[in-house]
């Protein structure tokens, strides 16, 4: 939701960063890898009980993830860049969940359910994008929803910085992900059903 409706407020900063990194002769794919290498360490810092460092690298990774997209649009995006972007995003999220699970094994069951809910929501998101593309749309169809990446980062931040409420924040995240998956499923039924009937 925030990625869709609030991005315009931070887009100037993202654009400036993209211009700077392009001036330094970096490519969008190189920045994608940088974002991944920074973000994947978040789980380690969580486990080592350095929560502020974990949150810092997580948000820096998220910022660079937005910047690489801006760079791709200013130059030439690649299909493999999209594959890396989506894959690395999930690995960074997995790093956070694993770090929390190993540090707080008593809530591992809730974190496992959260992982399943993320898989569910992303499966709907990616499948609808792929099928919509086959229906003739110009690019990968982006389904907005209650939980997009910024909401995920906010909830991860709460989980990392406030371990006393980790179980409750994890369950809130779980609910939000399941709701988003169902929201996307209902939208897919509407959009793809209309396309199947040839209504455009």
Residue-range domain boundaries for the chain: 2-196
- Three-state SS for the chain is CHHHHCHHHHHHHHHHHHHHHHHCCCCHHHHHHHHHHHHCCHHHHHHCCCHHHHHHHHHHHHHHHHHHHHHHHHCCCCHHHHHHHHHHHHHHHHHHHHHHHHHCHHHHHHHHHHHHHHHHHHHHHHHHHHHHHHCCCCCCCCCCCCCCHHHHHHHHHHHHHCHHHHHHHHHHHHHHHHHHHHHHHHHHHHHHHHHHCCCC
Identify the CATH class of 2-196. mainly alpha
Work out the pLDDT band at 195, boundaries 50, 70, 90.
low
Q: What is the pLDDT of residues 22-73, one digit of tens each?
A: 999 999 999 999 999 999 999 999 999 999 999 999 999 999 999 998 998 8
């Amino acid at each position: 939701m925030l990625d869709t409706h609030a991005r315009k407020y931070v887009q100037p900063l993202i654009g400036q960063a993209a211009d700077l990194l392009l001036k330094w002769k970096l490519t969008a794919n190189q920045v994608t890898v940088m974002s991944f290498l920074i973000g994947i360490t978040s789980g380690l810092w969580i486990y080592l009980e350095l929560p502020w460092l974990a949150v810092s690298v997580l948000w820096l990774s998220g910022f660079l993830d937005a910047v690489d997209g801006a760079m791709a649009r200013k130059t030439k995006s690649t299909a493999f860049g999209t594959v890396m972007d989506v894959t690395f995003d999930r690995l960074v999220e997995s790093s956070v969940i694993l770090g929390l699970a190993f540090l707080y094994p008593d809530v591992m069951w809730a974190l496992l359910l959260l992982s399943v809910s993320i898989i569910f929501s992303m499966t709907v998101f990616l499948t609808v994008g792929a099928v919509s593309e086959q229906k003739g749309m110009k690019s990968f169809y982006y389904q907005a929803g209650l939980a997009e990446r910024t909401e995920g980062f906010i909830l991860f931040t709460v989980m990392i910085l406030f371990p006393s409420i980790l179980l409750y924040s994890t369950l809130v995240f779980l609910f939000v992900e399941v709701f988003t998956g169902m929201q996307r499923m209902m939208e897919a039924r509407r959009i793809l059903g209309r396309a199947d009937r040839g209504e455009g």
